[in-house]
Amino acid sequence: MNTATLQRRPLVKQLLDGADDDLLVIAGLGSANWDITAAGDRPLNMPLWGAMGAPVAMGLGLALAQPGKRVLVITGDGDMLMSLGSLATVATQQPENLAIVVLDNEKFGETGNQATHTSPRNNGPTNSGAGTDLSVVAKGCGIADSALVREAGEVAQLVKDARTKKGPVFRLVKVMVEKLEFVMPPQDGAHLKDRFRQALLGHA
């Protein structure tokens, strides 16, 4: 079973605390989207409502285009599992301004909390995964600065690393399975893109 004690909402709020125009945020579909929106919707957030498997590559394209800004990708274990290869692609570019934080509750939250591959093996007939450790996967893909975060006492350092440490940074954060309120940003993708570009570039 998932023995995590960290709660995703306050954690993401801390990750985004004091976000200014130098912080560009992409969130994966589902819970990560609602998490960053609960912390405060802002034009320089790009919350995805679909496009599973897209956030890391999207963060890379953005980080390469905006080397002077910090790019923070926040997503879940299910989304990350769908695009493991993108971690190797990030590693080929070694973007110093990119941080990836995966909130791992070992569940596919949007479809009813089925076990993902990060769930333990031999966890019963309906809840078993593979024990996949995404922080080891990231390191194996060539992102040297990859680590696992489990304890409340590690969160301050996590925030500092995600916001300021020379990248690429990968952090796997084990979080609790929780039933949380849906806090939704605007849904229209073209609008989200245009407001992001307007805020960043001064034109859509």
Partner 1 sequence: MTAVATIDWHDQIFETLKDHDIKQVYHVPDAGHGKLIEACQKSNSIRTVPLTTEEEGIPLAAGAWLGGQRSVLLMQSSGVGNTINLMGMTKTLRFPFLTLITMRGDYGEFNSWQYPMGQGTPKVLEAMGVLLYSVDDAVEVKATVDAAARSAFNGGQAVAVLLRQKLIGIKNFGKK
Asked if 197 touches partner 1 (CB under 8 A), the answer is: yes
Taking the CA atoms of residue 49, residue 172, residue 53 and residue 7 in that order, the dihedral angle to the nearest 10 degrees is -20
In sequence order, the 6+-apart residues with CB closer than 8 A to the CB of 35 are: 8, 9, 12, 27, 74, 103, 183
Quickly count: other Cβ atoms within 10 Å of residue 41's Cβ: 15
Site string for partner 1, 165-184 (x = CB under 8 A): --------------------
Q: Which two tokens stand for residue 2?
A: 């998932």
Stretch that binds partner 1, among 2-10, 55-63, 123-131, 171-179 (CB under 8 A): 55-63
Tell which positions 13-52 bind partner 1, by CB under 8 A.
24, 26, 46, 49-51
In the bound complex, what is the minimum distance in angstroms from residue 125's beta carbon to partner 1? 30
In the bound complex, what is the minimum distance in angstroms from residue 120's beta carbon to partner 1? 27
In the bound complex, what is the minimum distance in angstroms from residue 53's beta carbon to partner 1? 7
Cα(104)–Cα(108) distance, integer angstroms: 10
User: What are the C-alpha distances in Å from 89 to residues 34, 77, 201?
Assistant: 27, 18, 26
Q: Which of 66, 113, 123, 127 binds partner 1 (CB under 8 A)?
A: 66
Whether the ω angle into residue 168 lies within 30 degrees of 0, i.e. cis, is: yes
If the CB atoms of residues 11 and 162 are measured against partner 1, the closer one turns out to be 162
Binding residues for partner 1, rule CB under 8 A, total 36
> What residues form DSSP beta bridges with 107?
115
Tell which positions 74-93 bind partner 1, by CB under 8 A.
83, 85-86, 88-89, 92-93
Q: Where are the alpha helices (DSSP H) in the chain?
A: 8-15, 31-38, 55-65, 77-81, 85-93, 134-141, 155-164, 189-201
Site string for partner 1, 105-144 (x = CB under 8 A): ----------------------------------------
Q: Which of 57, 74, 158, 162 binds partner 1 (CB under 8 A)?
A: 57
Q: Which two tokens stand for residue 68?
A: 């002077």
Binding residues for partner 1, per CB under 8 A? 24, 26, 46, 49-51, 53-66, 69, 83, 85-86, 88-89, 92-93, 189-190, 192-193, 196-197, 200-201
